[in-house]
């Protein structure tokens, strides 16, 4: 009989981290518009995922769990740790604060949405989750997910049109 131990857990989590970290960071970065902050949030979320790995590994969408945790995240440890590193090296981390691709009217409009609508759009459209899984993750019925998505899309369509006629969604 094979006993699943800490080393196997660690190996499995390391593989999950390697495969998912960049995707999670990109989705969070679209929502928060601050590269170092997004990385802090995602690192914090992965730390929590590792601490609860026995539960998270059985989750239907572990990446979405990480993204949702990051968007709700509390970044004190990573922020403090990053500051300690910056002080130790006497310089700021060489990471730009924003990404040029995020300077679009759609991203601006997305960030203006209420948190729930933004979460639903991030999970449904950016992580390609279905409505049921999104609802499971956010603790809401599928109908509420659909409602948030509907309102979010309407707000995005309205805002994008008003922000930039040139980038109007066809």
Partner 1 sequence: MNDDSTLTALTDHLHEVRDSLSDVHMTVPASAIFAAARKRRRRGVAAAGAACAAIALALALALAPASQTRQVHVHLAAWSVDTNPNGTVTFKLRNASQPARLRQALAEAGVPAMVRWGEICLAQGRHVLLPTEGFVGATGVWTYVNGRRSSPSSILEMIGTSPPNTKGLNWSWTITPSKMPKGAQFVISAVPVDRVAPGHIQAVWEFVPSSAHVICAKSVKPG
Element (H, E) at 41: helix 35-51
Among 8, 12, 77, 141, binds partner 1 (CB under 8 A): 77
Per DSSP, the three-state class of 96 is: coil
Which 103-142 residues touch partner 1, going by CB under 8 A?
104, 106-107, 110, 121, 125-126
Considering the rule CB under 8 A, would residue 156 count as an interface residue with partner 1? yes
Q: Which stretch binds partner 1 (CB under 8 A): 22-30, 57-65, 136-144?
A: 22-30
Which 40-59 residues touch partner 1, going by CB under 8 A?
42-43, 46-47, 50-51
Given the complex with partner 1, which of 15 and 60 has the nearer CB atom? 15
Over the chain, what HEC string results?
A: CCCCCHHHHHHHHHHHHHHHHHHHHHHHHHHHCCHHHHHHHHHHHHHHHHHCHHHHCCCCCHHHHHHHHHHCCCCHHHHHHHHHHHHHHCCCCCCCCCCHHHCCHHHHHHHHCCHHHHHHHHHHHHCCCCHHHHHHHHCCCHHHHHHHHHHHHHHHHHHHHHHCHHHCCC
Considering the rule CB under 8 A, would residue 169 count as an interface residue with partner 1? yes
Q: Which stretch binds partner 1 (CB under 8 A): 59-67, 130-138, 152-160?
A: 152-160
Considering the rule CB under 8 A, would residue 97 count as an interface residue with partner 1? yes
Query: Which residues of the shown chain bind partner 1 in the complex (CB under 8 A)?
Result: 10, 13-14, 17-18, 21-22, 25-27, 29-30, 34-35, 37, 39, 42-43, 46-47, 50-51, 72, 74, 77-79, 81, 95, 97, 99, 101-102, 104, 106-107, 110, 121, 125-126, 149-150, 153, 156-157, 169-170
């Amino acid at each position: 009989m094979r006993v699943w131990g800490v080393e196997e857990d660690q190996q499995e989590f390391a593989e999950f981290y390697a495969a998912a970290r960049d995707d999670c960071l990109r989705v969070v970065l679209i929502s928060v518009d601050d590269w170092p902050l997004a990385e802090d949030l995602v690192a914090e979320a992965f730390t929590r995922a590792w601490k609860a790995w026995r539960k998270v590994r059985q989750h239907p969408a572990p990446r979405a769990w990480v993204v949702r945790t990051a968007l709700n995240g509390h970044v004190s440890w990573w922020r403090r740790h990053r500051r300690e590193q910056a002080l130790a090296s006497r310089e700021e981390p060489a990471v730009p604060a924003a990404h040029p691709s995020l300077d679009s009217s759609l991203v601006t409009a997305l960030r203006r949405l209420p948190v729930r609508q933004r979460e639903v759009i991030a999970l449904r459209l950016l992580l390609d989750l279905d409505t049921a899984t999104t609802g499971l993750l956010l603790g809401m019925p599928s109908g509420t997910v659909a409602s948030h998505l509907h309102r979010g899309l309407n707000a995005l369509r309205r805002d994008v049109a008003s922000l930039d006629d040139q980038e109007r969604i066809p």
